[in-house]
């Protein structure tokens, strides 16, 4: 059997997809048992999949943390603009009219820029 066909099947199996027509799990495993090159290819593909999953998980966690930081910064700026009084939950307007000062807006923009540069 051609190694290219086996590698296509290994990739499908790794991605949780169905094997190509005419190729069974047994035939795939039998080929792996007898072909060192395909075993090495399979090992590298598995390692790459794990590495990509780790990076994706780290990116998702980092993005979530950045969003939380921005929400905290917005809430602190709103509280500062409201004279230090607590405001309602993030991104909700305070119960009284909110008049941002140029200082509070500049502080908020500076903090947002620093979060974006850090991310």
Q: Which helix (H) or strand (E) holds 73?
A: helix 36-81
* Per-residue pLDDT tens digits for 29-67: 999 999 999 999 999 988 888 887 777 666 666 665 666
Domain-embedded: residue 81: yes
DSSP state of 19: P
Phi, psi of 101 (to 5 degrees): -95, 160
Domain count, the chain: 1
Find the range with the poorest average confidence among 25-29, 44-48, 74-78, 93-97: 93-97
Percent of the residues in the chain that have a pLDDT greater than 90, as a whole number: 32
pLDDT of residue 111: 76
Domain-embedded: residue 39: no
Domain-embedded: residue 21: no
pLDDT of residue 34: 95
- Cα 115 to Cα 71: distance, rounded to the nearest angstrom: 11
Domain-embedded: residue 46: no
For residue 89, give its domain range: 60-118
- Among the residues of 1-35, which ranges form H helices? 3-14, 25-34
Domain-embedded: residue 41: no
Domain-embedded: residue 25: no
Domain-embedded: residue 3: no
């Amino acid at each position: 059997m051609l190694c290219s066909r086996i590698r296509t099947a290994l990739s499908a199996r790794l991605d949780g997809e169905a094997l190509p027509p005419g190729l069974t799990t047994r035939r795939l495993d039998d080929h792996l048992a007898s072909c060192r090159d395909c075993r090495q290819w399979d090992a590298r593909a598995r390692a790459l999949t794990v590495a990509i999953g780790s990076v994706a998980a780290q990116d998702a966690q980092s993005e979530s943390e950045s969003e939380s930081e921005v929400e905290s910064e917005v809430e602190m700026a709103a509280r500062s603009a409201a004279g230090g009084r607590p405001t309602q939950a993030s991104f909700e307007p305070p119960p009284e009219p909110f008049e941002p000062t140029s200082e509070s807006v500049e502080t908020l923009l500076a903090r947002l820029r620093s979060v974006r540069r850090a991310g």
